[in-house]
Amino acid sequence: MDRYAALKTAVETAELVDAHAHSIVALDSTFPFLSCFSEATGDALTAVPHTINFKRSLKEIAELYGSNSSLDVVQEYRSSCGVESVTSKCLRAARISAVLIDDGLELDKMHNIEWHKKFFPFVGRILRIERVAEKILDELISLSIITHADKIVGFKSIAAYRSGLEINTNISEKDAEEGLNNVLQAGKPVRITNKNFIDHIFICASEVAQCLDLPLQIHTGFGDKDLDLRLSNPLHLRSLLEDNRFSKCKIVLMHASYPFSKEASFLASVYPQVYLDFGLAVPKLSFHGMLSSVKELLELAPINKVMFSTDACGFPESFYLGAKKAREVMFAVLRDACINEDLSIPESIEAVKDIFSENARKLYKIKAVPESFDSNDIALSVKLDINTSAQAVAFVRIIWVDGSGQHRCRVVPQKRFYDVVSKNGVGLTCASMAMSSHMDGPADGTNLSGVGEIRLIPDLSTKSVIPWANEQEMVLGDMHLKPGTPWEYCPRETLRRVSKILKEDFNMVMNAGFENEFFLLRNAQENGMEKWVPFDATSYCSTAATNDAFPVLSEIAGCLQSLNIAVEQLHAEAGHGQFEFAFGYTNCESAADNIVFAREVIRAVARKHGLLATFVPKFSLDDIGSGSHVHISLSENGENIFMGRSGETKYGISKIGEEFMAGVLDHLPSILAFTAPVPNSYDRIQPNTWSGAYLCWGMENREAPLRAASPPGTPDGSVSNFEIKVFDGCANPHLGLASIMAAGIDGLRRHLTLPEPIDDNPDNVKDKVRRLPKSLSESVEALEKDTVLRDLIGEKLLVAIEGVRKAEIKYYSENKDAWKNLIYKY
């Protein structure tokens, strides 16, 4: 085995705390995409495609997106997917658990801090002091910004850009006042360039930072053309560092101080208050340049004072590139240190953890549990070994979900995965999308058979170490006819295709958040035979159930956290042995991917504890059923446009939101063929069970299949999303969401309106509402008549799905007790 396999695993799986980045911008921002690859501006941008960083980075972005390595193709992909989708894809691949954003670099149409919280478990704010001063002088803000709700974790100075780093620590009040007058005489908007006034601001900020025990980040080294590189050498800060008044002010020298990395390393080695950050140098330099710069930082500087950041700016791709190259560079640097016997392998593994996360956590006081996990709700008792595991990854699982909703995988050795499979995939029979829950062969009427083969191509942006099996990785696969040519039966591609229509036709993104119910079963031997029975017999939200199951539940939550899947809450459900996890909302493609991984986690961790977790819709015909309810909303440029304003709309839903929801309601009988895919699903969808048995909608009505929801924090009189209750754990989540979105698109195109909401138990007003399909046969019949879903989802795929569903109907009607075996498959 490779001597450095443990180090490589530690680097690849390490949690990343991005200690310095900037805001992401909307797709229609004037901030040029070429700025993702260079600090150049204006006419100098035309030469960027000829740089090493551009050529390398474009290839890596194209590989992530599965597109050709062309700037136009990549930009077309970004436009078709939308900023939220590409952000989710890039950040999932980057695996960044916390980010500190300097939003003082104001870009056209940049998203606010709150928007970024949808994608990072923790977002902190870095306050750019010169920009704050300018805004105060422009009278755009008051000093109350210091207590802004966005959590400020540090200050930042760009004095290097304005007047250089030779700060006069003894600037007189008179000189500062003259400098201020000079600034004000220049007019508004204010831009502070007077050295005396800049030094005064810097000294004041240093005093405040020291008082509040907040780090002060200082731009050093290279940047754009506004900067005089000669004045950005950190050695100019020596008078500040020697001033005893500021000896406790923690100073972070940014950007590896390139090309002054050796000087920065020296300062960190002799001044206890100096720390280093290598963002921007990684990934903007050539690989040799990155390697040399980071090695120079570590020549003298203590390892516990060196930190990672991306200095990402404007584009999610810059987060991905920064994280990817940082891992590659850090492995190369530390491997060489081991070869030269500067460090042992265990010491190098510890350095990985310190540089990538722990140093920043301590310096910026970032809580160990991401904010998406409220410590008052979930006390994670499981300490995962992912980031420090000495086990080498030996195998990679490539996972897909078939037309029947079953999770399947191929497993390949890691070396073969990276040498061959990552680009060329593995072969898969065309019959894979024609299999039913009871037979591993093609169902009749699907037009698919054992003749023909496709390629299962791993989507590398979804790859992660398996939390319960650290020697393995898992990744979701896309179905292609050949690498680069998607197969029209591929569920993930189907969701992407329908998402593209919503984006191109209406400039919208559909967001989704799942609530996944499941039963925990224990093995009770009966006459020597295996018999699975509920874990307990407690009631809804039972504290006893929570106590008894918490070792399992907390380990599940910990595994999900390691995969960057946000858990909003969990609780015991009404069924015996039944529990629910509610997940954070995100764009629908990521939500579907997340629920696949969440199901994997829940079943695997349960098995580890000797239990069986099942998502089967109706485990016991005498008990409540399990759903996989999904909450749906719409966004445009990151803003929720499903929500209406109080008093301006009839139901608190926007006109666009109403049209979309009305489309879903109109097509709901057909949608059930995707979201309730087995006969057992209809044993669950019964009146008086909170499962939504009638074709209607309601305001916070849990007996309606569509519930308009106003969770805590929603403005009074507004609805932020709607819940679909007729979605269960046997459904392929990508196809289920694709069918919902297709129906919503039809509602938008036809400008449909909602009927009056049902504000009573629909079973009490049967004369006013129609029953939803009572069986899979009825929902398949509705789907066969639905020309809209057929056009938007695709004729061939619908034929295959209908064939699979008819096979389910036939088999379970002829084998009355066969549904009991579903617990082993879902």
- The number of CA neighbours under 13 Å toward the Cβ of 400 is 28
Query: Three-class SS of residue 787?
Result: helix
For residue 527, how many other CB atoms are within 10 A of its CB?
5
Task: Look at residue 387 and tell me whether its pLDDT is greater than 50.
Answer: no
Predicted confidence (pLDDT) per residue in 681-740, tens digit: 999 999 999 888 999 999 989 999 999 998 887 888 889 999 999 999 999 999 999 999
Looking at the chain, the whole-number percentage of residues with pLDDT higher than 90 is: 67
Exposed e or buried b per residue across 702-736, where buried means at least 16 C-beta atoms within 10 angstroms of its C-beta: ebbbbbbbbeeebeeebbbbbbbbbbbbbbbbbbb
In whole angstroms, give the CA distance from residue 297 to residue 300: 7
Is the pLDDT higher at 755 or at 2?
755
Predicted confidence (pLDDT) per residue in 666-682, tens digit: 999 999 999 999 999 99
Question: What does 559-623 look like in DSSP terms, one character per residue?
Answer: HHHHTT--EEEEEE-SSTTEEEEEE--EEHHHHHHHHHHHHHHHHHHHHHTTEEEE--TTS-TTS
Yes or no: say if 470 and 389 are a contact pair by the CB < 8 Å rule: yes
Yes or no: say if 796 and 489 are a contact pair by the CB < 8 Å rule: yes
Mean predicted lDDT score pLDDT of the chain: 89
Q: 12-21, 372-381, 420-429, 531-540: which range is least confident on average?
A: 372-381
Yes or no: say if 116 and 24 are a contact pair by the CB < 8 Å rule: yes
Task: Look at residue 588 and tell me whether its pLDDT is greater than 60.
Answer: yes
Task: Look at residue 275 and tell me whether its pLDDT is greater than 80.
Answer: yes
Yes or no: say if 285 and 53 are a contact pair by the CB < 8 Å rule: yes
Yes or no: say if 511 and 502 are a contact pair by the CB < 8 Å rule: no
The pLDDT value recorded for residue 392 is 65
> Which stretch of DSSP H or E encloses residue 474?
strand 469-482
Q: What is the pTM of this model?
A: 0.63
Task: Look at residue 386 and tell me whether its pLDDT is greater than 50.
Answer: no
H-assigned helices in 609-732: 655-675, 679-684
Predicted confidence (pLDDT) per residue in 213-230, tens digit: 999 999 999 988 888 899
Q: Identify the burial level of 121 via C-beta atoms within 10 angstroms of its C-beta, where 0-12 means exposed, 13-18 middle and 19 or more buried.
A: buried
The pLDDT value recorded for residue 814 is 93
384 confidence band (pLDDT: 50, 70, 90) = very low
Task: Look at residue 385 and tell me whether its pLDDT is greater than 90.
Answer: no
H-assigned helices in 102-172: 113-116, 129-137, 159-162
Q: List all residues 6 or more positions away from 406 whose beta carbon is below 8 Å from its beta carbon.
A: 435, 437, 825, 826
CA distances from 563 to 121, 567, 713 (A): 11, 11, 27
Q: List all residues 6 or more positions away from 538 whose beta carbon is below 8 Å from its beta carbon.
A: 544, 545, 572, 576
The pLDDT value recorded for residue 647 is 63
494's tokens: 């189907």
* Residue 757 CA from chain centroid, whole number: 34
Q: 292-306, 410-424, 635-649: which range is least confident on average?
A: 635-649
Task: Look at residue 476 and tell me whether its pLDDT is greater than 50.
Answer: yes
Predicted confidence (pLDDT) per residue in 31-67, tens digit: 999 999 998 888 999 999 999 999 999 999 988 888 7
Predicted confidence (pLDDT) per residue in 484-504, tens digit: 899 999 999 999 999 999 999
650 confidence band (pLDDT: 50, 70, 90) = confident
For residue 483, how many other CB atoms are within 10 A of its CB?
12
* Residue 109 CA from chain centroid, whole number: 21
Query: Three-class SS of residue 16?
Result: strand
Largest CA distance in the chain: 94
Task: Look at residue 283 and tell me whether its pLDDT is greater than 90.
Answer: yes
Looking at the chain, the whole-number percentage of residues with pLDDT higher than 70 is: 95
Number of residues written out for the chain: 826
Yes or no: say if 540 and 598 are a contact pair by the CB < 8 Å rule: no
Yes or no: say if 585 and 711 are a contact pair by the CB < 8 Å rule: no
The pLDDT value recorded for residue 375 is 26
Question: Average pLDDT, stretch 123-138?
Answer: 91
In whole angstroms, give the CA distance from residue 764 to residue 769: 10
Question: What does 511-576 look like in DSSP terms, one character per residue?
Answer: EEEEEEEEEEEEE--BTTB--EEES----TT-HHHHHHHHHHHHHHHHHHHHTT--EEEEEE-SST
The pLDDT value recorded for residue 465 is 87
735's tokens: 């196809």
First to last CA, the chain: 37
Q: List all residues 6 or more positions away from 234 whose beta carbon is below 8 Å from its beta carbon.
A: 165, 218, 220, 221, 253, 257, 260, 263, 264, 267
* Residue 573 CA from chain centroid, whole number: 27
Q: List all residues 6 or more positions away from 271 whose beta carbon is below 8 Å from its beta carbon.
A: 241
Residue ranges with strand state E in 22-167 = 96-102, 122-128, 152-157
In whole angstroms, give the CA distance from residue 100 to residue 775: 51
Following CA atoms 672, 677, 682, 683 in sequence, which dihedral angle do they give, to the nearest 10 degrees? -150
Nearest one of 495, 763, 747, 761 to 630, comparing CA atoms:
495
The pLDDT value recorded for residue 306 is 97
Is the pLDDT higher at 766 or at 312?
312
624's tokens: 């409540």
Task: Look at residue 381 and tell me whether its pLDDT is greater than 70.
Answer: no
